[in-house]
Structure 1
């Protein structure tokens, strides 16, 4: 609740790409800036998962899912890549630091959406849309098969008055 961005909402671990996430020795075309940023984003996602939750994720197992940018009027703006990956071991221990993470729960997308609809949890729009997309698939294998191999879906949230 005290965070300056998405405080009190249930979100996926995240953060920013640091200079150390760029690896000039990474496989691929070193002259392809987009590929370098994507590889750095994978390493950043894995690093942030460890830093925020203690959960180790293999960056090479991450598959692109979507890309989000908030509306221009937002005070804090992020260019956010969402990835999917095979589940980590069932007995993995998540670290609660009472800083960025106050609680955690392993849950299926349908359970989180049900809890949101019941008013039990708040979800940021990217989290809600991503979970809704994942609901279209009945297994992790099908989600991974559905992950784009080419251009990914780009979302730009907008503010609307009702």
Structure 2
């Protein structure tokens, strides 16, 4: 066991219906990043203390399934999506429509870089631009906690969201160096074939997405599912150590070689 502090984090799985079925947006992390360097992951990151600002609460589109302690994680998911791939789940105050591409371009030019650098929080943009964050566009998907034995540990909530049709998702060129819209099963197949690096939690969550062919199906499945916290543990097998997850979490398998963790 390590003394690594558990860091709260949020991840967003942006979805769209492609010509061949369901696609999810993924980014490739820079090889020099200490955690999951070079891996294909979903956009996300650590909570900022400013994601917890009570002043943000009146600026949130309500979601009856995301409230209380989950609210800062949902805010962080929206913020990280904006910072990492330029997708913003927000509306002009009083509007039912998500912001369009021209408005997004103006917001990016003014706010994206200083927010990504941590110079400001999302509240500054929301107040100055009179926005409402679209928490109602998020669906809870999973909850993973990094095992005790890892040197860097996260308490991560995963959310699904359909990507706005007129917003172009693209990697930031800093922490992430490439990006792709990909069918979930294709991403798993590439990982198995050694074409892409996909770490264990990402691969397991892709396996659930791969059960559905449409965004509507994936959202409906997630909304109907109970969230079971997954904190993998180690067990010995004749072939060596394996990672084990609780069967009630509903994944296609309950264990995997420890090599998949990295």
The TM-score by the shorter chain falls in which range? Answer: 0.7 to 0.9
Question: Deviation of residue 35 (structure 1)?
Answer: 3.0
Q: In structure 1, the residue corresponding to 2:172 is in which secondary structure? A: coil
Counterpart contact for 1:42–1:60, Cα < 8 Å? no
Please say if residues 87 and 163 of structure 2, whose CA atoms lie closer than 8 Å, have aligned partners that are also in contact.
no
Q: Give the equivalent residue in structure 1 for 2:188.
A: 113
Where do 5+ consecutive residues of structure 2 fail to align?
1-30, 90-133, 241-262
Pick the aligned partner of 1:61 from 112, 137, 141: 137
Cα distance, 1:144–1:93 mapped onto 2, change above 3 Å:
closer
Q: What is the match of residue 35 of structure 2?
A: 5
Runs of 4 or more off by more than 6 Å in structure 1? none
Q: Deviation of residue 73 (structure 1)?
A: 1.0
User: Over residues 94-118 of structure 1, what are the superposed CA-to-partner deviations in whole Å (9 max), with x where a residue is unaligned?
Assistant: 1432x21011011110211121121
Deviation at 1:158, TM superposition (A): 2.9
**Residue among 80, 94, 117 paired with 2:156:** 80
Within the candidate set 89, 105, 114, 2:165 is matched to 89
Unaligned runs of 5+ in 1: 29-33
Question: What pairs up with 1:1-162 in 2 under 5 angstroms?
Answer: 1-24=31-54, 25-26=57-58, 35-57=67-89, 58-89=134-165, 92-97=168-173, 99-148=174-223, 151-159=226-234, 162=240
- CA distance 1:137–1:95, shift in 2 (3 Å): closer
Query: TM-score scaled to structure 2, two decimals?
Result: 0.54
SS in 2 for 1:120: coil
Equivalenced residue count is: 156
Larger radius of gyration: 2
CA distance in 2, matches of 1:133, 1:107: 14
- Provide the C-alpha distance between the structure 2 equivalents of 1:56 and 1:91, rounded to a whole number of angstroms: 8
Q: Deviations over 1:128-161 (max 9, x none)?
A: 0000011111211011111146741211123456
Q: CA RMSD in A?
A: 2.2
The CA deviation at 1:91 is: 5.9
What is the DSSP-based 3-state SS (H/G/I as helix, E as strand, rest coil) of the residue aligned with 1:68?
A: strand
- Quick check: 1:64–1:83 contact (8 Å CA) kept in 2? yes
> Would you tell me which structure has more strand in proportion to its own residues?
2
